[in-house]
Structure 1
Amino acid sequence: MPSARAHDLITVLSGAAITPLAYYACLEFTPIAPDTALACSLWLGGAHLLSGIMFSPDLDIDSAIDNRWGIFFWIWRPYMWLIPHRGFWSHSLVISPLLRLGYFAAVGYGLAFAVVWGLGQLGMTTPAYHREWAAWVQGLIRAHSTETWAFVIGFCTGSAAHTIADWLVTNGNGLLGSYGRRLRQRYRDHDQWRPRHKRRR
């Protein structure tokens, strides 16, 4: 498989290509205004980068990707334990990025709820942050539905760039192998995985 650095380069280059294409498509094939088309293309491009770099399909293993979350790496541990590596749930084109996005939203909601509940147990009255956050997200989606769709599409394309690159390398390696050739680099440990006892946090 391509290395984490190669995946990042693929994500950046594909994002740079898809953003102006999205702007052109919005102007040519939708009735939205130019300023909305620009906003949608930027949201799509930004979501593409965010998905490919921070919400990579390789979050399903202990990898260089979850290291990017710093002290919050633990957020992805339950996801890592539950999702098989390189299976449908982690490396599909649409379902897996939406699953990661939903998982992250659920973790954020759960943490907000835990804070409110914990402070309540200590006798402190606080706003229902989890409900306020959920209501804010719902209101944002309703008020900016077009930009929301652009974000969701970009989030899926960012993950797809990673998955398609994996498919191409895997299938290309198999094709070359059938003719008695081998790729010089097998890309084992493509995500720079190291055993936990050798990692530094």
Structure 2
Amino acid sequence: MPSGKTHTRLNLAALPVLGFVLITYKVTDWSLLLPSAAGFLLGTYLLNPDLDTVSAAYRNWGPLRFIWYPYRSMLPHRSFLTHTILLGDMIRVVYAAIALSPLLYLLNCTVLGGQLPVWVQTHRPFLAAGFAGIVAASALHIWADRLNTKRKRVFRRKRR
């Protein structure tokens, strides 16, 4: 599998191309491009499939990385639940929301005045675009892992 730095470089190189394609083919409009790009960066740096190991994404969480210890303990690396497009992303986002729920509660009480559900409902298209960005980033990660594994198998056979 590619290194964490290779995954990050690949994703950062793909981000402008993806944005150009989405706008050119009218898959999205300009108002949703920023939330999807933010989700893509979030999926690259904080919520990528390698959170099941001590990886760059795990270290990027800084002092909050402890919340990912149970996730790493329960799920083996490259398992179906971590390295599957969409399913793995949903699991990571729900897990992060549950783990960060005390912070979300404080945000709701202090900043949003108890209106978090209303805020989520109002900003649903932007949140969906952000989630789509997370899915796109992890899909690129998973495809790079699979292609690299196939490449290694081909070259291993040729040496024999």
Structure 1 residues 84 and 129: CA distance shift in structure 2, 3 A: farther
One-letter amino acid of the counterpart of residue 130, structure 2:
F
Residue 111 of structure 1: CA displacement?
5.4
**Aligned residue pairs, count:** 159
Measured against aligned partners, the alpha-carbon deviations of 1:30-72 in whole angstroms (never above 9, x if no partner) come to 7xxxxxx212111111211110111121110122321111111
Distance 1:74 1:142 in 2: 30
Identity %: 25
Map residues 63-102 of structure 1 onto 2, 5 A cutoff.
63-102=55-94
Q: 1: CA distance between counterparts of 2:122 and 2:24?
A: 23
Decide whether the 8 Å contact of 2:81 with 2:88 is kept in 1: yes
Task: Name 1:51's counterpart in structure 2.
Answer: 43
Distance 1:15 1:145 in 2: 22
What is the CA–CA distance in structure 2 between the aligned matches of 1:72 and 1:8, rounded to whole Å?
21
Between 66-75 and 162-171, report the one with greater CA deviation. Answer: 66-75
Native 8 Å contact 1:75 1:107 kept in 2: yes
> Is the aligned partner of 1:2 residue 2:2?
yes
- TM-score w.r.t. length of structure 1: 0.70
Give the structure 2 partner of residue 195 of structure 1: none
1-side partners of 2:40 and 2:55: how far apart? 20
For residues 20 and 99 of structure 1, the distance between their equivalents in structure 2, rounded to whole angstroms, comes to 29
- In structure 1, the gaps of 5 or more residues are 31-36, 116-126, 182-201
Give 4+ residue runs of structure 1 displaced > 4 Å after superposition. 110-113, 132-135
Tell me whether 63-72 or 6-15 shows the greater mean CA deviation: 63-72
RMSD, matched Cα: 2.5
**Higher Cα radius of gyration:** 1
AA matched with 2:151: G
Amino acid paired to 1:14: A
Letter in 2 for 1:159: S
Unaligned regions of 5+ residues in structure 2, if any? none
Contact (CA 8 Å) 2:15, 2:40: kept in 1 or not? yes
Q: Matched residues in 2 for 1:178 and 1:17: separation?
A: 34
